[in-house]
Amino acid sequence: MKKLFLSIIAVVGLSAYATAQDDASGQTAKGKWVVEANTGFGAGNSANTSFSFSSQDNLTQWAIGGEAGHFIADDLAIKLGLGYFDRDVFGSGFTYKVGAKYYVNSIIPIQVDFTGASIKDADDNPSWVGIQGGYAIFLGDMVSIEPGLRYNLTLDDAIADSVLQINVGFALHF
């Protein structure tokens, strides 16, 4: 099942690259850069590189991170992300992300990525394949707000769960 899912992701990513339009301009044009900060809402926030904080039943967890990408074609960016998290129960660690983000019609971002976590003093570290989609609201030439949904499919059933999240992203385009 995981191989089929990863194959579908590869086909979608290659198709998006092949159909990237050469006439796009503006914030998602070839050669531009994007720097993002996201808020992550949902269980399992260690599966991302976002800003989050929660405290319930005397258990606190928080995360901080960000992502950056370069548009290798109009509307298609290759992205990297880094983050740090601390949880009362699971400990602390770093998250990392590598993926691609394609803007359909230059306003509907679809992202596919691999995310991993390196947890302090853990024998095994979880990893996920993430898919997210949303809508980009451009506030001028350099800023966008991107609300969306994200699903993190676990690659390690024994140590992590698959997670559905709601994100609100804030991006700088230059």
Indicate the domain borders of the chain. 2-16+34-173
- Rounded Cα–Cα distance for residues 168 and 75 (Å): 20
| pLDDT per position as a tens digit, 35-77 | 999 887 765 555 668 888 888 888 888 889 999 999 999 999 9
- Rounded Cα–Cα distance for residues 108 and 75 (Å): 10
At 42 the pLDDT is 60
At 22 the pLDDT is 40
SS3 content of the chain, % helix, strand, coil (to 5): 15, 60, 30
At 88 the pLDDT is 79
Give φ, ψ of 17 to 5 degrees. Answer: -65, -45
Residue for token digits 């001028």?
Answer: 140
* Identity at 82, one-letter amino acid code: L
Which residues, listed in sequence order, are joined to residue 59 by a DSSP beta bridge? 56
In CATH, what class is 2-16+34-173? mainly beta
Mean pLDDT of the chain: 84
At 151 the pLDDT is 92
Across the range 147-167, mean pLDDT stands at 87
Higher-confidence residue: 114 or 162?
114
- Rounded Cα–Cα distance for residues 137 and 170 (Å): 10
Confidence at 19, pLDDT banded by 50, 70, 90 = very low
pLDDT over 90 (residue 34): yes
At 87 the pLDDT is 81
Can you give the pTM of this predicted structure?
0.79
Confidence at 10, pLDDT banded by 50, 70, 90 = low
**Cβ atoms 125, 90 nearer than 8 A:** no
How many CB atoms within 10 Å of residue 151? 16
At 24 the pLDDT is 46
Residue closest to 85 by CA, chosen among 125, 115, 58, 46: 46
Give φ, ψ of 12 to 5 degrees. Answer: -60, -45
Of the chain, the percentage scoring pLDDT greater than 70 comes to 80
- Give the contacts of 11 (CB within 8 A, at least 6 positions apart): none
At 18 the pLDDT is 46
| pLDDT per position as a tens digit, 88-129 | 777 888 999 999 999 999 999 999 999 998 888 888 888 999
